[in-house]
Structure 1
């Protein structure tokens, strides 16, 4: 195996391991609160963009509308999300967090924040900023890739 292929193999391994590790943190933070990881992502996205449409949410999470609708239905039943139809076009639905949904999202975000702070405490002080910059750069490259972020057909 040449050096380039070896580097790509190592990068693939790192991404898989980091994805798995972070996924476990996300799963633990949401399941302790009685929701799925996807539902946790939904609460976060609605917090970031109140009055988010169902279609925009599906696009942000790279999920189809029927999957999003099922999760929203569950979150509405749990009194975590408000689903509101537009007065002019009932097919257009916007989403907001209820008070209980906002509190739960904050609880999950606080857990994630604490975990990230703990993770950062193991990095050398002079590497924290560059780690953030490199992760941001990697995220931007992933988003530009023709293989990334295509909604399912």
Structure 2
């Protein structure tokens, strides 16, 4: 399949709405790409542990804990000990973190909608179904295990 890699890399580049300046554009915050992903996962998972979010993002816990420290210092995330295991820290968004995550989400939803509006309803349905299938195939293929 000639051009397959170019197709995937082109899509990734064209879709990279969450770049180094997007958060400044959509919510006025100086956040990195990984920090915006952390806010999303913390909201999505509802009181996850640091290990759960790091795992969902595919980031080692050491690197992840540095990012959490920065988000705590910015007042966007708070950590609390797990009542069942004091060694585990649970994550939640502060009110400021919820507001920022909501602004990023609104920006992303509007951007995705503008993209999909370029397609017919049938094409939209096909693309969304195909993306769901592709995401499942990527998870199931375990391509990063170096086998």
- Structures share a fold, TM > 0.5? yes
Aligned-partner Cα distance in 2 for 1:29–1:21:
14
Runs of 4+ aligned residues of structure 1 deviating over 3 Å after TM superposition are none
Q: Secondary structure of 1:67's partner?
A: helix
Q: Give the paired residue count.
A: 141
**Residue 126 of structure 1, CA deviation:** 2.1
Larger radius of gyration: 1
Which structure has more RCO (C-alpha within 8 Å, separation ≥ 6)?
1
**Residue 14 of structure 1, CA deviation:** 1.2
**Residue 12 of structure 1, CA deviation:** 1.5
**TM-score between the two structures when normalised by the length of structure 2:** 0.90
CA displacement 1:46-76 (0-9 Å, x = unmatched): 0001111011111100000011100000000
Alignment of 1:54-69 (within 5 A): 54-69=50-65
Q: Which runs of 5+ in 1 are unaligned?
A: 1-6
**TM-score between the two structures when normalised by the length of structure 1:** 0.86
Alignment of 1:108-123 (within 5 A): 108-123=104-119
Q: Which runs of 5+ in 2 are unaligned?
A: none
RMSD value, Cα:
1.4
